[in-house]
């Protein structure tokens, strides 16, 4: 990490976002942040897009089943699990 909190050169810069609407989410990042589409996926477990600005790579995924999604998929579940996870630290 740099002093400003960003990633320094030479480090991987990969981010994955789980969403229920990969097309809408990808469109947002293409239009607002000007990311370019680097690929598209439609596999057995997820569909979505790979976007990049040439430096940061973003995977936007719509998972197709609960087994790959895991227990955290909705905002209610996230805040409950996050709270309980913090209390165990």
Q: What is the pLDDT of residues 32-50, one digit of tens each?
A: 999 999 999 999 999 999 9
The answer to whether position 58 is within a domain reads: yes
Gap between the Cα atoms of 59 and 77, Å rounded: 22
Apex 16 CA angle, 12 and 18, nearest 5:
175
CATH number, position 77: 3.10.180.10
Band the pLDDT of 8: cuts 50, 70, 90.
low
User: What pLDDT does residue 67 have?
Assistant: 67
DSSP summary character for residue 17: E
Structure-token pair, residue 31? 């239009």
β pairing state of 57-63 and 36-42: unpaired
Range of 66's domain? 14-87
**Residue of 44 and 86 predicted with greater confidence:** 44
């Amino acid at each position: 990490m740099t002093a400003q909190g960003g990633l320094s050169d030479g480090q991987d810069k990969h981010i994955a976002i789980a969403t229920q609407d990969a097309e809408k989410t990808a469109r947002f990042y293409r239009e607002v942040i000007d990311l370019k589409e680097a690929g598209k996926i439609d596999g057995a477990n997820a569909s979505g897009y790979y976007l990049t600005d040439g430096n940061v790579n973003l995977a936007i995924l719509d998972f197709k089943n609960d087994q790959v999604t895991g227990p955290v998929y909705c905002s209610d579940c996230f805040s409950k699990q996050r709270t309980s996870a913090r209390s165990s630290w």
